[in-house]
């Protein structure tokens, strides 16, 4: 901590916080295990353990001695930016835990652990009624949380702020009001003029899982993933989880066809992992030793997956790797691979959506969550409303629950207010792209795999700071503005219609 935390009160605060960090560390490992290797029979005990750890963490965080120490530190003068960051993050955590009763903390932790397993089975069996009681309970708990936290305009704003500090429905509405109409115009242009294909033969090409596993592992080698500090595993819904700066794990999925799905899932999660792995080591085990928000986090994964991963330069870079393990790739040149990576077609599944249609999927969830949290609709209304909204936005209609309301894992995590951060991530990725091309020959850097230049830029501007600055402050300090969809829209226009 030398050189970062100088104030004695803050030093003592960070030292005491390490007990809380240790609980988070254990919870993260348990959550990772729950979605990867845990036997289904272990869910009841795991849920109870997670619930008790969560309430223990609340008790320790609200310990009068710890709170008093924070208050004294808040009164100190001449604190540096890292110290102020620690106090900001701890104050947010304490304010939350003071307002939310232990029984709600317990129920959310317990029910969400159980719900993950139920959701997975319900999705596979296309059985909404099996998951419905859990969704009703978790959404009800989310409404209670919103009421306890308080809000100015809408209960959903309280939940948005939990995932993205400072975000409310006014800001979110403004972003969607710009992104959705602009994306619709670009999409119409692409489809009318047939600028990008809506299907490609490679989408039907089958692969052996063992071969695709080799592709993904060598791809991560190429990108610079640290195997000494990470793992690649399989889960129903790919995710990244941080146990600490020295342990950041990712998962992917294999479906046996359309290899770009498995590949881009892996690249996407690598973007999340890179963020955590490049946090300043001096912040280790402190309250600011991690990504500052879900929106900023998502910007890193979307930058890697879309702006880098779907670029022509990246196609040239990875072709030898693909041909080595996937024989059928040899039948297609770079231009065809690029077109395969960038097919544009309204689809039902969010995680498989292309750049142009992806934000429509998020907008659908945003609209439904606002209604649900406000109590304007019931959980039982969701399947039909989902189908209607999908038809209105993209002209297609789900025929099963699995390709509609049951497709995402997030509601089983009680993550209401989470989905808008995906579009926020796209917006911020556009802003980063605008700035990075001013300093780096982007195409040459990617084509030659010189990612250290890009990673250096990201580390200096975003990664190394961890949670030191709030999301919007971080953007304003390094890019001169907060959330601004203009860059994303410009990027999409240039790529798809330029």
Catalytic residue list: 269
175: nearest Cα among 297, 345, 295, 309 = 295
Cα gap 179→325, rounded to integer Å: 38
Using DSSP's 3-state secondary structure scheme, residue 250 falls into strand
Backbone angles phi, psi at 25, to 5 degrees: -60, -45
Assess contact for 130 and 89: CB atoms under 8 A: no
Q: Which tokens go with 5? A: 């935390």
Q: Any idea what the Cα angle at residue 228 is, between residues 227 and 230, rounded to 5°?
A: 55
Q: Which tokens go with 14? A: 């960070």
DSSP 251-312: EE---SB-THHHHHHHHHHHHHHHHHHTS-GGGTTSTTSS-S-HHHHHHHHHIIIIIITTSH
Strands 232-234 and 240-244 come out as unpaired
Helices and strands in the chain, H and E counts: 20, 3
Strands 247-252 and 232-234 come out as parallel
Assess contact for 414 and 141: CB atoms under 8 A: yes
What is the torsion angle, in degrees rounded to the nearest 10, for the CA atoms of residue 447, residue 448, residue 453 and residue 458? 40
Q: Which tokens go with 387? A: 């189908």
Length of the chain: 498
| Partners of 248 in the β-ladder | 242
What is the torsion angle, in degrees rounded to the nearest 10, for the CA atoms of residue 362, residue 100, residue 375 and residue 401? 50
Q: Tell the residue number behind the tokens 């979110």, with chain if given.
A: 172
Chain CA centroid to CA 123, Å = 21
Q: Tell the residue number behind the tokens 């250290």, with chain if given.
A: 452
């Amino acid at each position: 901590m030398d050189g970062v935390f100088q104030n004695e009160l803050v030093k003592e605060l960070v030292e005491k916080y390490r007990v809380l960090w240790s609980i988070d560390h254990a919870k993260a490992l348990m959550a990772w295990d729950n979605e990867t290797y845990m036997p289904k029979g272990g869910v009841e005990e795991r849920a109870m353990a997670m619930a008790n750890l969560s309430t223990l963490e609340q008790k320790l965080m609200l310990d009068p001695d710890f709170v008093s120490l924070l208050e004294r530190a808040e009164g100190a003068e001449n604190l540096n930016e890292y110290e102020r960051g620690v106090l900001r993050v701890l104050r947010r955590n304490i304010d939350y835990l003071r307002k939310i009763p232990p029984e709600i903390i317990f129920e959310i932790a317990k029910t969400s652990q159980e719900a993950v397993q139920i959701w997975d089975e319900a999705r596979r069996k296309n059985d909404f009624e099996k998951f419905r009681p859990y969704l009703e309970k978790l959404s009800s708990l989310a409404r209670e949380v919103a009421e306890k936290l308080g809000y100015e305009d809408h209960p959903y704003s309280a939940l948005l702020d939990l995932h993205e500090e400072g975000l409310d429905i006014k800001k979110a509405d403004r972003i969607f009001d710009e992104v959705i109409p602009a994306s619709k115009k670009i999409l119409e242009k692409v489809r009318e003029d047939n600028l990008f294909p809506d299907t490609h033969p490679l989408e039907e090409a089958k692969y052996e899982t063992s071969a695709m596993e080799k592709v993904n592992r060598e791809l991560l080698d190429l990108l610079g993933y640290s195997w000494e500090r990470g793992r690649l595993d399989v889960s129903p819904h790919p995710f990244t989880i941080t146990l600490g700066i020295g342990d950041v794990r990712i998962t992917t999925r294999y479906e046996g066809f359309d290899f770009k799905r498995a590949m881009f899932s892996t690249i996407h999660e690598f973007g999340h992992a890179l963020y955590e792995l490049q946090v300043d080591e001096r912040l280790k085990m402190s309250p600011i030793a991690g990504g500052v928000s879900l929106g900023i986090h998502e910007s890193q994964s979307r930058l890697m997956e879309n702006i880098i991963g779907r670029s022509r330069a990246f196609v040239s870079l990875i072709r030898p790797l693909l041909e080595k393990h996937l024989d059928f790739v040899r039948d297609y040149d770079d231009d065809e691979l690029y077109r395969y990576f960038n097919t544009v077609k309204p689809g039902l599944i969010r995680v498989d959506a292309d750049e142009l249609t992806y934000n429509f999927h998020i907008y659908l969830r945003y609209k439904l969550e606002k209604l649900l949290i406000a109590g304007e609709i019931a959980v039982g209304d969701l399947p039909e409303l989902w189908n209607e909204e999908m038809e209105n936005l993209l002209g297609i209609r789900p025929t099963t629950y699995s390709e509609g309301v049951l497709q995402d894992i997030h509601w089983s995590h009680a993550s209401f207010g989470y989905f808008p951060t995906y579009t926020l991530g796209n917006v911020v990725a556009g802003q980063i792209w605008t700035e990075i091309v001013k300093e780096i020959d982007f195409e040459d850097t990617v084509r030659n795999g010189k990612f250290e230049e890009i990673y250096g830029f990201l580390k200096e501007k975003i990664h190394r700071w961890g949670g030191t600055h709030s999301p919007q402050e971080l953007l304003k300090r390094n890019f001169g503005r907060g959330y601004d969809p203009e860059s994303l829209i410009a990027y999409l226009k240039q790529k798809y219609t330029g």
